[in-house]
Structure formats: C-alpha cells, structure tokens
C-alpha cells in the first residue's frame, strides 16, 4: 500500500466533505432565490431540477459526515467561504448567476468529486467514494447543460466576465473547493452589485403573454371535454409560479432545519414537473409555451405576504383545496379514455399528497421559528380569506368554496386525501 503524501487524513477528509456539502447547499439556496428572477424559460426549468439535485447531494454528504461523527457540518467553515455564499446571491442577471454557480462553483466541485477517490484513502474510505460516485452524474449533467446554454445568456447580458472572475477569485482566495490549495490574494469587489433577492415580481422574457383573469372561463368538463382539457393543462403549465413561490420561500427561511429545506427543494421541483406536464400536454395538443398567457400575478401578489404566510397558504389551503378536482379529472379522463391526461393528473395527485403532508409538518415549525402567535388552523383561515380577495385565478376561489361546502355537507364525501 502506498503512503503517498497526496492522501489526506480522516480529519482533512471531514473538513473537505463539509465544504462540499456547504457548497451544494449554497447552490441550492442561490438557485432557489433566483428561480423567479431568471426570465429564460429553459433556464427556469433546469434550475428547478438542479436546486433539488443540489439539496439531494448535500443530504447524501451530510449522511456521510454523520458516519464520520461530524454532526454540525457548518461549524468552523471559513469566513471567506461564507462570503462566497453571500456573493453568489448578488448576481445581477442570468449570465452572472449561471457563470458564478455553474461555470465556477459547480465546475470546480465536479473536478474535486472526480479526484476525491485518489485523494482519500479509498481502500478504507469506500463509503465516501460511493457518495462521490452517486453525486457525480447529476453534477456532470448540470455543468454540461450550463456550458451549452451559456452563449445565449452571455450575449444577452454583456459584462458578466468581471462577476465570474470575482466569484472564482473568492474561491481561490479560500484555497479552492477543497480549501487545500495555496490561497490566492482576495479579489477586489466589482461595483454596483446590490442584492436583488427576494424577487418581488417573477420575470418572463419580454413580449410573453400575461394572463387576463377576465377571459379565464372554465369550460364544462362533460359538455366540452377538449376545451376543458386544454384549459386545464394551460393552468398546469402555470404551476411554474408555484415553483417560483417555493423558491423564494426557501430562500427567505434559512433558519429552518435542513430537513425542511430539503423537502421544500423537492416540493419546488415537483411544481416545475407539474408545469412540465402542462407543457408536454399543451404541445401535444398543438400549442407552444409562448402561446399560453403566464399567470405571473399570483407570484407577485403572494410576495406581498411574509414567507410563513405564503407557505401556510400554499400547503394548508391551496393544495388541500385542489385535491378533489384532481380526483374528478382523473375519473373523467379515464372515462373518455384519455390515458395521457389521466396519467399526468395521477402523478400530480400523488405528489400533492406529500406536499400537504409537508405542510402539516412544517407550518407549526415555521410559526414557532418566526414567532407567530397563531395556530396552524388560524393562519389557514386568515390566509384563505386573503386568497379569496386577492387571487387572480378564479379556479382557486372555486376550489376553496367547494372545499367548505364539502366540509359542511351532512353526508359529504370524504376528502380524497
């Protein structure tokens, strides 16, 4: 067995794994905060997946750290690394965001994961090698996506190079991803980089159509099945705004436990997937994404509420209220032998069960963490009353009314969840 000096000790290994986990979490966090701020539709969809993959990778690394008896993985991280984390949030546009997160941090993480098996005592540290093997494919795919997509945003937002160099310089000043390289001098901070998070309004490309509530008429399911189906999947496509809401919620609640952050990251990606099932279906039915007016208003009006109110409203009011309609749609689409629509809604329904379960679990913790005096039932009632006044989406009001009628009906059907 070689005793080459390239091999690190178990203590050094633990410190490096702490930095990997931290950087994965930082990527999750910055991408979450920026999800509403990126106007490019393709990037929004990819970022929604990648923020979940970053959370998942961080979670796997935390697990290995616990095996190595490191229970406080953010303890004693260097001040410079924390500064890098805050700097990533201060990108000014999609190009600076993707350059900093993907072309600097993720790319260097990828190289570190690839070489980790040669750096650690692999024969004795197989579980760590296994973790790096598990997290590598997602990171490889993410970096490859960023590299092929980047020219489009690079051309749109000139001047991004200075920010990329600054982020790369901060990492180099802290000894690189592993912290083991010789630190370079700290780079000067570029001017004019205010924090733009959290985004008060969600961004779309110029010229994209905006939803008009006055013409949003729900066709009758039985009488006009085709019009109803198209209407319904246009609304699915607009679940992008639910993902964007969760992105901002996650960014605004860093004091919450890791398990919550991991769940919200997954919840966020699920809503991206619901938007994608809408996208797939409207395309199959002959429309393009750009043909569907975007319900940006719901994100924008939700952002007038604090994060805790938004989370309680989404998971303890909007999502439970939406369940009976999903069950009815599945039944209807199975009846008319529209297998594709039935399959789509059945996966949506399945995901929503977890969203509601997470809402029940985390709303009380949020209320306590942020000093609310309300009970979960009180905040649900208050935010639902607010929704009835403020939502631009009539479907949400209709679902709320139906849910209360079902509650008060003497022999009303049991809720489908």
244 or 319: CB nearest Fe ion: 319
Q: 346 burial class (0-12, 13-18, 19+ CB within 10 angstroms)?
A: middle
- Pairwise CA distance, residues 152 & 18, whole Å: 34
107 or 235: CB nearest Fe ion: 235
117 or 376: CB nearest Fe ion: 376
CB of 319 to Fe ion, least distance (A): 5
At a CB cut-off of 8 Å and minimum separation 6, what does 60 contact?
131, 134, 135
CB of 271 to Fe ion, least distance (A): 5
- Pairwise CA distance, residues 325 & 348, whole Å: 12
87 or 345: CB nearest Fe ion: 345
- Pairwise CA distance, residues 175 & 179, whole Å: 4
At a CB cut-off of 8 Å and minimum separation 6, what does 288 contact?
282
60 or 274: CB nearest Fe ion: 274
CB of 226 to Fe ion, least distance (A): 23
40 or 271: CB nearest Fe ion: 271
CB of 394 to Fe ion, least distance (A): 18
The residue ranges that bind Fe ion (CB under 5 A) are 239, 271, 274, 319, 352, 355
| Side-chain half-sphere CA neighbours of 198 within 13 A | 22
- Pairwise CA distance, residues 234 & 167, whole Å: 39
CB of 239 to Fe ion, least distance (A): 5
Q: Which residues pair with 294 in a beta bridge?
A: 210
90 or 267: CB nearest Fe ion: 267
Structural contact between residues 315 and 367, judged by C-beta atoms closer than 8 angstroms? no
Phi, psi of 96 (to 5 degrees): -65, -35
- What are 68's two structure tokens? 């190595």
91 or 356: CB nearest Fe ion: 356
Structural contact between residues 44 and 34, judged by C-beta atoms closer than 8 angstroms? no
The DSSP output letter for 72 is -
At a CB cut-off of 8 Å and minimum separation 6, what does 104 contact?
164, 167, 168, 171
120 or 310: CB nearest Fe ion: 310
- Pairwise CA distance, residues 229 & 340, whole Å: 11
- Pairwise CA distance, residues 298 & 172, whole Å: 41
Residue 82: how many other CB atoms lie within 10 Å: 14
């Amino acid at each position: 067995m070689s005793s080459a000096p390239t091999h690190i000790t178990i203590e050094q290994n633990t410190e490096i794994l702490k930095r990997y986990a931290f950087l994965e979490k930082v990527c999750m966090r910055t991408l979450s905060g920026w999800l509403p701020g990126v106007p490019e539709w393709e990037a929004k969809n990819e970022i929604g997946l990648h923020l979940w993959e970053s959370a998942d990778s961080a979670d796997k690394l935390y697990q290995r750290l616990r095996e190595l008896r490191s229970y406080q993985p953010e303890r004693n991280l260097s001040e410079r690394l924390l500064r890098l984390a805050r700097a990533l949030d201060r990108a000014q546009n999609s190009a600076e965001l993707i350059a900093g997160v993907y072309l600097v941090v993720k790319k260097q993480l990828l190289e570190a994961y690839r070489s980790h098996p040669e750096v650690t005592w692999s024969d004795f540290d197989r579980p760590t090698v296994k973790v790096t093997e598990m997290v590598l494919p997602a990171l490889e795919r993410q970096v490859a996506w960023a590299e092929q997509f980047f020219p489009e945003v690079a051309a749109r937002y000139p001047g991004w190079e200075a920010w990329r160099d600054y982020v790369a310089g901060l990492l180099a000043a802290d000894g690189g991803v592993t912290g083991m390289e010789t630190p370079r001098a700290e780079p000067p901070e570029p001017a004019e980089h205010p924090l733009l998070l959290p985004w008060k309004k969600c961004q779309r490309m110029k010229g994209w159509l905006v939803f008009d509530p006055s013409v949003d008429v729900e066709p009758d399911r039985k009488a006009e099945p085709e019009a109803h189906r198209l209407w319904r999947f246009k609304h699915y496509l607009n679940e992008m705004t639910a993902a964007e809401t969760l992105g901002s919620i996650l960014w605004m609640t860093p004091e919450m436990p890791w398990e919550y952050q991991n769940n919200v990251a997954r919840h966020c990606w699920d809503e991206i997937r619901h938007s994608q099932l809408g996208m797939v279906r409207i395309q199959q039915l002959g429309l393009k994404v750009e043909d569907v007016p975007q319900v940006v208003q719901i994100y924008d009006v939700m952002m007038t509420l604090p994060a805790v109110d938004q989370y309680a409203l989404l998971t303890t009011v909007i999502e439970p209220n939406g369940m009976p309609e999903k069950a009815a749609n599945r039944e209807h689409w199975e009846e008319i032998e529209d297998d594709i629509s039935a399959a789509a809604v059945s996966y949506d329904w399945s995901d929503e069960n977890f969203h509601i379960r997470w809402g029940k679990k985390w709303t009380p913790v949020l209320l306590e963490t942020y000093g609310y005096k309300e009970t979960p039932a009180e905040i649900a009632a208050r935010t639902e009353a607010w929704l009835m006044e403020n939502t631009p989406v009539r479907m949400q009001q209709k679902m709320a009314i139906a849910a209360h009628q079902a509650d008060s009906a003497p022999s009303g059907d049991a809720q489908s969840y």
